[in-house]
Amino acid sequence: MNAPRRRSLPITPNAAPIFEYKASVRHRIKCCLFWTTGAAQINPAPQAIQRASTILARHNLLLDICPGSTPVAPHILPFDRRIRAPANEEQEDRLALRQMAHQAHVHDGRIPVIIALCDAAIAWRGITPNGNLGGWLQFVTLNAEQQAPDGATMCHEMTHAAGNPSDWPTNPTDDYSKYRYVMINNLNDRNCLMRGDVLRYTAPCYFAEPG
């Protein structure tokens, strides 16, 4: 969510191979879900998992989820309030949740995705830190009450975490919108990555492995 913006430029006439690229070797994209106590009652995970699985499968990538779509111990974190809105307190809360996830369950080689309730003043649907990570590898925090209607927020943020720094604005005249590119915010029915996302970011990232 908090990545630098870029202008989208048409890719035509060779767009299809870019947006429909399949990895030559299938990779498992490994994710470990956690919920705060309040978020476990709402749980947007089933839709997020379904959409991410569909998008990744188009590119010969397999979403590998632990523990699944249902909140279970020890994946429910003892955090019984909302992430606070002031930027310094928001970061403090997200890092505290990351520490809780580390203590709750061994998830080496998987990206932690933490689903939390957030203060009403927080506008983001999901966030991947681009500043202070507190010494951790990349992780994702999802706002349980503010997920995109198409369910693609988790996949969008995991692509940021894999290394793609850019969000793209919606432009109906270009191929990014035509092919329903997942890195566009506020676009319905997002359903694909770009070839560069697969080759440069997702397949080589720390939470992917061939198989």
**121: Cα within 13 Å, side-chain hemisphere:** 7
Residue listed under structure tokens 């080689």 = 109
Give me the mean pLDDT over the 144-150 stretch.
96
Alpha helix locations (H) across the chain? 15-19, 39-42, 45-57, 87-104, 153-162, 175-178, 195-196
The pLDDT value given to residue 93: 97
Query: How long is the chain?
Result: 211
* E strand spans, the chain: 27-36, 61-66, 76-77, 111-116, 126-127, 140-143, 208-210
Which of 42-56, 131-145, 162-176 is most confident?
A: 42-56
Half-sphere exposure of 193 (CA within 13 A, CB side): 32
pLDDT of residue 3: 47
Closest CA to 62 of 33, 29, 32, 31: 29
Whether 204 and 189 have beta carbons less than 8 Å apart is answered as no
pLDDT averaged over every residue in the chain: 93
User: What domains are defined for the chain?
Assistant: 24-69+76-166+197-210 (3.40.390.10)
- The model carries a pTM of 0.94
Comparing 188 with 208, the larger pLDDT belongs to 208
Contact, 157 vs 140, CB < 8 A? yes
pLDDT, tens only, 55-96:
999 999 999 999 999 999 999 999 999 999 999 999 999 999
Peptide bond preceding 71 in cis form (omega within 30 of 0): no
Q: What is the pLDDT of residues 106-125, one digit of tens each?
A: 899 999 999 999 999 999 99
Measured CA distances, 60 to 9, 55, 91, 211 (Å):
26, 9, 34, 10
| Alpha helices (runs of H) in 20-174, residue ranges in sequence order | 39-42, 45-57, 87-104, 153-162
Q: Give the per-residue pLDDT at 129.
A: 85
Q: Write down the pLDDT at residue 169.
A: 85
Q: Dihedral through CA 112, CA 115, CA 118, CA 123, nearest 10?
A: 80
Burial grade of 124 (CB within 10 A; 0-12, 13-18, 19 or more): middle
Interval 16-48: pLDDT, tens: 999 999 999 999 999 999 999 999 999 999 999
Q: Judging by beta carbons within 10 Å of its beta carbon (0-12, 13-18, 19+), is residue 169 exposed, middle or buried? A: middle
- Whether residue 139 contacts residue 111, with contact meaning beta carbons closer than 8 Å, is answered with yes
Q: What percent of the chain has pLDDT over 70?
A: 95
